[in-house]
């Protein structure tokens, strides 16, 4: 049987690269994201791509998108919870409350809502089970300067991953987290030119090809359900993480 996956934030960057890697591996792939035109461009007319326009912070949108996928496929094997946004660098006292609320809504609430929908399907389907892979970040371990909203949500994703792992045991639902450092997407281009460091300097940082992220997620997803990569860090080895600050 052809396996199925929903990738959130699939219109660009890590999401697009990963969704297309799964298409290449023979999966039926749900491209979920806010902008239909962006999803259409990312999927490039592939016969196994299903476009799922959706705001992950909106519960009704999420329920409708997952219902569309399940009605098309009959089951869900994998969710890659990838959708996320950053915020302008600012100390916590200079961070606008609306910025905080928006980052939390997309990065954390969105991941919860999609995991909730996937978990319900994986628990009820036959054969039971599936896999939820959350996109954490190097910032789930060590913050960048002026990143309270983003870093807080990524630390929270680790708690969500662990809770899903525990709650999923009885239903053969595995949960994993991939912590990504400096994959070269449009969002990461500023890192090649210079970004703030913990010592107050501005320096360029090493990056890696986003394809390495896609292949890592694919490896995690293709394991049998009696094995799990609980946490994986994939990063540019010369970026500041070990010894950051």
Q: Which residue has the tokens 């461009």?
A: 41
What is the residue-wise DSSP string for 174-230?
EEEEEEEE-B-SGGGGGGGT-EE-TTS-EE----B-THHHHHHHHHHHTS-TT----
Tokens of 54: 């959706």
Long-range pairs for 105-108 at CB < 8 Å and ≥24 separation? 105/57, 106/56, 106/57, 107/83, 107/150, 107/153, 107/154, 107/157, 108/153, 108/156, 108/157, 108/160
8 Å CB contact between 153 and 107: yes
**In this structure, what DSSP letter does residue 241 have?**
-
Question: Is 150 one of the annotated active-site residues of the chain?
Answer: yes
Annotated catalytic residue, options 150, 173, 182, 241:
150
Active site residues: 150
């Amino acid at each position: 049987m052809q396996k199925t996956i929903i990738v959130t934030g699939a219109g660009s960057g890590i999401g697009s690269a990963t969704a297309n890697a799964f298409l290449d591996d023979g999966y039926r792939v749900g491209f979920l994201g806010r902008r239909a035109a962006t999803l259409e461009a990312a999927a490039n007319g592939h016969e196994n791509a299903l476009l799922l326009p959706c705001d992950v912070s909106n519960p009704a949108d999420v329920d409708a998108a997952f219902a569309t996928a399940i009605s098309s496929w009959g089951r869900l094997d994998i969710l890659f919870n990838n959708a996320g946004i950053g915020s302008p660098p600012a100390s916590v006292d200079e961070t606008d409350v609306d910025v905080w609320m928006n980052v939390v809504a997309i990065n954390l609430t969105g991941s919860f809502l999609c995991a909730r929908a996937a978990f319900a399907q994986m628990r009820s389907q036959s054969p039971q089970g599936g896999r939820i892979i959350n996109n954490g970040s190097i910032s789930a371990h060590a913050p960048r300067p002026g990143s309270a909203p983003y870093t807080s949500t990524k630390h929270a994703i680790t708690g969500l991953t662990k809770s899903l792992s525990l709650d999923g045991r009885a239903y053969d639902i595995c949960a994993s987290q991939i912590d990504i450092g400096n994959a070269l997407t449009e969002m990461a281009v500023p890192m090649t030119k210079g970004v703030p460091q913990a010592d107050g300097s501005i320096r360029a940082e090493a990056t890696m090809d986003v394809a390495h992220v896609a292949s890592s997620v694919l490896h995690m997803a293709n394991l049998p359900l009696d094995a799990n990569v609980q946490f994986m860090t994939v990063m540019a080895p010369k970026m500041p993480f070990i010894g950051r600050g």
